[in-house]
Amino acid sequence: MAALKVKTRVPYFFTASTIVLVFAALLIWLAFVLLRPTPPRSVTMSTGPEGSFNAELARRYRQFFANNGIKLKLVASAGAVESASRLQDQKSGVSIAILPGGITTQQESPDLVSLGTLFYEPLWFFVRGRDLHTNEQMKGLRISIGPEHSGSRALSVSLLGQDGIIDQKSATLLPFSPSETIQKLQRNELDAAVFLDAWESPVIRQLFAIKDLHLASVRRADAFVALHATLNKLTLPAGAADLAENVPPTDVQLLAPKASMVVRRDLHPAIQYLLLDAAQEIESVPGMFHKPGEFPAPESIDLPLSTHARQFYRSGSPFLQRHLPFWLAVFIQQLLVLAVPLFGILYPVLRFAPLIYQWVGHRRIYGLYLELKHLEDQLVAVPAAASLNDVIHDLDQLEERVRRQPVAPSIRPHLYWLRLHIDMVHEKIARRAAAPQGDGS
């Protein structure tokens, strides 16, 4: 008789362990995807043209980031319009930029959010050797309004164009960069220039130093502010640029949007908090047009505030980032993120492990009983006593497996019952072997 082939059973512990590990890996992956505990090692910021306050300011942020182990790459642009375009293009790699109000809107840039306002960025209108009182005086002037994609060009055309000051039909509008504009003004090759920049900008200070260059005051500034929610009316006091020389000679009315820190909505939360910490340190000093602590401010100009920015202005940075170095705080946050899914798995596993272990033990014993039943059925079907050796051999192997079977103490009695039943089958075989041939018992 052919040896009895016992069906191979899949180990229960191996199956259960595999399921638990796969489930744990899935939860950990979801935790990392949804919570994103690991910030990038480097991010890119689009800055203004060289020499602008925006470019100078970006270098301070780069140093702050370097002190916290993050590389901030700076990419110069023609101005705010180009920086906004880069932010909207996910393929550009740019995640951060400082933009003045009036450059974009939430409808135009749904993927962008603001981290708050940082400073005033006035629109400066310098004219050579004259004080403009009528639009007729603008005819024929050579005016530099900034290159294409610059904020000064966009706002000067849209705002000053309403007042009739900037008009392509009555004046020659030229797309020179700040450095080119200063050189041409010094060589008397330009009659006027428009700049969108902060008071602290080196470019603005150079303009005040050029002889015969006059800072024009914006007429009807209150009307502009009433019509444009992004604008503010500022007053540059007489003598603010040079007290000894009394430059400017009188108070000057300026229009100024506020510059905001704008980021992509998907920028890692830890980087957003790091930017806000940097802004808190860099922007909180007093300036010509603002008091100490006025900036950064939780103001939504063109774009909605980031949820992380709202949290920052309510209670500051997360607890770990406030009290620990940046990367140590991030490392602990990673451990906490890992702990959530692991605890979610380990707790129920430890809670129900004894029951599961008993269930697995019962299943094993029931499986062995099925094998014993199969051997007993074979015993009935054996035609001759000479063929009992195969059944006896398989029964001995089953008994040996039962003897070595590890089970919990709570179900060990079931194992003893199985061994007792195996002995009963042994006795049955012995009786059959001792029975006279032809005996039907």
Q: Is the pLDDT of residue 2 over 50?
A: no
Mean pLDDT for all residues in the chain: 82
- Residue 103: CB atoms within 10 Å: 27
pTM over 0.75? The answer is no
Largest CA distance in the chain: 138
Q: Is the pLDDT of residue 57 over 60?
A: yes
- Residue 115: CB atoms within 10 Å: 27
Percent of the chain with pLDDT over 90: 46
Residue 128 — very low, low, confident or very high, per pLDDT cuts 50/70/90?
Answer: confident
Residue 168 — very low, low, confident or very high, per pLDDT cuts 50/70/90?
Answer: low
pLDDT tens for residues 76-97?
999 999 999 999 999 999 999 9
Q: What is the rounded CA–CA span in Å between residue 407 and residue 155?
A: 81
Q: What is the rounded CA–CA span in Å between residue 422 and residue 260?
A: 84
pLDDT tens for residues 218-254?
888 999 899 889 999 999 999 999 999 999 999 999 9
The SS3 assignment for 98 reads strand
Q: Is the pLDDT of residue 205 over 70?
A: yes
Where is 419: in which H helix or E strand? helix 412-434
Among residues 101, 95, 40, 51, the alpha carbon closest in space to that of 76 is found at 51
Cis omega (within 30 of 0) on the bond before 248? Answer: yes
Q: What is the rounded CA–CA span in Å between residue 49 and residue 203?
A: 11
Residue with structure tokens 């550009």?
Answer: 92
* Domain locations in the chain as residue ranges: 1-30+353-441
Cα atoms in the Cβ-side hemisphere of radius 13 Å centred on 147: 14
* Distance, C-alpha 125 to centroid of its chain: 40
Residue 383 — very low, low, confident or very high, per pLDDT cuts 50/70/90?
Answer: low
Q: Please, which residues have CB within 8 angstroms of residue 113's CB and are 6 or more apart in sequence? A: 262, 263, 264, 265, 303, 304, 305, 306, 309
Strands (E), 77-122: 94-100, 112-120
pLDDT tens for residues 417-436?
877 887 887 787 777 767 66
Q: Which ranges constitute the DSSP H helices of 382-411?
A: 388-403
| pLDDT for position 10 | 46
- Give the mean pLDDT of 20-37: 62
The SS3 assignment for 140 reads coil
Q: Distances in Å between the alpha carbon of 258 and those of 103, 118, 410? A: 11, 7, 75
In the DSSP assignment, the letter for residue 148 is T
Where is 311: in which H helix or E strand? helix 307-315
| pLDDT for position 237 | 96
- Quote the tokens at residue 292: 């100490």
Q: What is the rounded CA–CA span in Å between residue 396 and residue 393?
A: 5
| pLDDT for position 320 | 78
Where is 182: in which H helix or E strand? helix 178-186
